[in-house]
């Protein structure tokens, strides 16, 4: 399948779990589609990029290791994503990667997620935290930064400062997640 053909197929992706899962499995079964999917995802001004992001998120949810050969591409370009419905799944993929990296169970992500990837994820997460994003990317970013703060001692103080500063102006969903993260940071 060419990039153009995949682009056309993505027109059929909608918010339903079944459609996202169908296309995620199509990509998992045909790994040569992953770079094409990422090319479409990083057409950041195109509405179809959001559908590519949804499929990539579901693919990572089903088989995170399939993303390993593309971590450079993903982390180098994810900061360009700006449409709300594409930012959320990109932030979720960051959370998947970092959660796997800090998992108690052995997995390939622990070897594949390099310091340069983590650095790009940290930058993107702080951007999502301080920019005018919806609650979901901020929530994923909070959790991702909390985990990364175990190795980078400067992250937790910065995260706490942002959470405390923005607390009063944010939604109840933000406040609930912020309380949870603040409690975990103070416990450490």
User: Which sequence spans correspond to the domains of the chain?
Assistant: 3-187
| Domain 3-187 CATH class label | mainly alpha
CB neighbour class for 85 (10 Å; exposed up to 12, middle 13-18, buried from 19): middle
pLDDT single digits (tens) 49-93? 999 999 999 999 999 999 999 999 999 999 999 999 999 999 999
Extract the residue ranges of the chain whose pLDDT is less than 50.
Answer: none
CA distance 87 to 89: 6
The pLDDT value recorded for residue 15 is 83
The pLDDT value recorded for residue 92 is 98
Question: pTM here?
Answer: 0.94
């Amino acid at each position: 399948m060419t990039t153009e053909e995949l682009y056309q197929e993505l027109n059929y992706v909608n918010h339903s779990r079944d459609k996202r899962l169908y296309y995620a499995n199509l990509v998992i079964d045909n790994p040569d589609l992953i770079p094409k999917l990422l090319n479409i995802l990083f057409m950041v001004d195109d509405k179809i990029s959001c559908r590519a992001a949804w499929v990539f998120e579901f693919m990572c949810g089903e088989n995170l290791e399939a993303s390993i050969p593309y971590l450079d591409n993903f982390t180098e370009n994810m900061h360009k994503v700006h449409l709300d419905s594409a930012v959320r799944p990109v932030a979720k993929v960051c959370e998947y990667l970092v959660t796997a990296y800090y998992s108690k169970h052995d997995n390939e992500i622990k070897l594949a997620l390099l310091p340069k990837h983590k650095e790009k994820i940290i930058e993107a997460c702080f951007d999502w935290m301080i920019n005018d994003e919806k609650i979901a990317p901020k929530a994923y970013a909070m959790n991702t930064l909390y985990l990364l703060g175990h190795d980078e001692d400067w992250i937790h103080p910065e995260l706490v400062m942002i959470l405390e500063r923005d607390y009063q102006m944010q939604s109840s969903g933000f406040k609930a997640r912020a309380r949870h993260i603040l409690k975990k940071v103070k416990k450490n």
